[in-house]
């Protein structure tokens, strides 16, 4: 399985947690060992979004796949 498919699979496991709070996450790209995602719904404007990004999404992705060095949110 290629890395993008692995990332999508991991995000699918995280997604229900975010959706319970009215949010969601969308995979944007994987480049130079950095995952870029877009936070959606309530997550997009939530004051805790940075904590969710690093503390939940980043931690799970980086623990699951050590080659991932970081997770960043993009806005567009």
pTM across the whole model:
0.87
Per-residue pLDDT of the chain (76 residues; tens, 9 = 90+): 799 999 999 999 999 988 998 989 999 999 999 999 999 988 777 777 778 888 889 999 999 999 999 999 888 5
Hey, what are 48's tokens?
């805790």
How long is the chain? 76
Domains identified in the chain, total number:
1
Q: How many of the other CB atoms lie within 10 Å of CB of 12?
A: 11
Q: How many of the other CB atoms lie within 10 Å of CB of 11?
A: 19
Q: Which residues, in sequence order, are bridge partners of residue 31? A: 34
Q: How many of the other CB atoms lie within 10 Å of CB of 19?
A: 15
Distance CA 37, CA 76 (A): 11
State the residue range of the domain holding 22. 3-73
CATH number at residue 63: 3.30.300.130
């Amino acid at each position: 399985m290629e890395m993008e498919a692995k990332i999508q699979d991991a995000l699918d496991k995280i997604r229900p947690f975010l959706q319970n709070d009215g949010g969601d996450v969308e995979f944007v790209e994987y480049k130079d060992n950095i995952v870029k995602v877009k936070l959606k719904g309530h997550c997009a404007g939530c004051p805790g979004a940075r904590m969710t990004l690093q503390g939940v999404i980043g931690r799970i992705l980086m623990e699951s796949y050590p080659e991932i060095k970081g997770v960043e949110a993009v806005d567009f």
